Chains A and B, each alone.
Chain A
């Protein structure tokens, strides 16, 4: 069967519902419009023929600046969305802490976005077949990702991967230090 929208949405897939980073998207769109305007302006100046350097330099500089800004914003939007995709729907303290821990490790191990996604599903206990369906890829692809994950993390298999996180969670306080509960939770 093919993957269609209906297919996926009926599953209890981890399509996360926390607040969407709409303001960041709006900012990216706005800056894209601004840079389109500058590009238009530069093109118009060039088509006119006479272009004083003192006029062109700031314009070209501003355009490049905008593009770089957009690039960085898109990157942080991607990171944000990835993080959201790996969080549980219930945003308890533990879920938030676990997601943070996972993302930290994924960064440390330099996992690709796809590998990080597969790792997140694996830690949550999904089978290879289920992950393949959720990601719309072949099981062989998922296995390849898993091998890369285990190699980069330096573990033997799924059990060790999960125990890495559990260990860290048990050692660290679940509640920020300044909270009352935090002081008690820590021995």
Chain B
């Protein structure tokens, strides 16, 4: 059964953020103007997503995927027992990663912007925070991708495809 789960805003946000993060992590040079503009774009994307988290479609809203400790452990228990409970929207563990990535990206944009201001220009701790967040974001993205693949195989639902087409095919 095909179910529409991700609206265009969610999908566009996701892939735009992927592109922006990859660009700034590996392609653009820190301190250069392009790096800064991509950073502003990330800040804009995050702001858009936060607003959409309150007024968006059903599965786009934060209220739809607030992670409860019991639900998170329930999902781990499903894994431990081989039960396949498929979530239409975000799963509890997936929701944790989303909030983690949202906060990390917001922190990256904020610390990056701070480095361009007069007050914080050349201040060492701001740079260190920015660098630490980069590593944290890279680790998070790695875990995110691995988790998506593992969950897709475990549940038999192609999750990456659903983030492209917007539809989940649930058996």
Q: What is the interface of chain A, defined by CB distance below 8 A to chain B?
A: 2-5, 8, 15, 20-22, 25, 36, 39-40, 43-44, 77-79, 81-82, 84-86, 112-114, 116-117, 134-137
Contact = CB atoms under 8 A, between A and B. Distances in A.
B135 A40 contact: yes
Contacts of A5: 85, 87
B87 A20 contact: no
The 5 closest A-B pairs by CB, nearest first: A114-B82, A136-B84, A2-B170, A117-B81, A78-B80
B118 to A, nearest CB: 28
B61 interface: no
Interface of B: 1, 3, 69-70, 73-74, 76-77, 79-88, 131-132, 135-136, 139, 170-171
A25 B75 CA distance: 13
B85 A8 contact: yes
Q: Which of B70, B85, B87, B135 has the most CB of A within 10 A?
A: B85
A84 B73 CA distance: 11
A4 B82 contact: no
9 contacts: A2-B171, A3-B86, A4-B88, A8-B85, A20-B73, A36-B135, A113-B80, A117-B81, A117-B83
Main DSSP-derived SS at the A contact region: helix
Contacts of A15: 74
Given A2-B88, A2-B170, A134-B83, 18 more contacts: A3-B85, A3-B86, A4-B87, A5-B85, A5-B87, A20-B69, A20-B73, A40-B136, A43-B135, A44-B131, A81-B76, A82-B77, A85-B77, A112-B82, A114-B81, A114-B82, A117-B83, A135-B82
Contact of A135 (B70, B76, B84, B170): B84
Nearest to A2: B170
Contacts of B81: 81-82, 85-86, 113-114, 116-117, 135
Contacts of A82: 77, 80-81
B139 A77 contact: no
A114 B86 CA distance: 16
Given A4-B87, A22-B69, A39 B82 contact: no
Nearest to A83: B80
Contacts of A114: 81-82
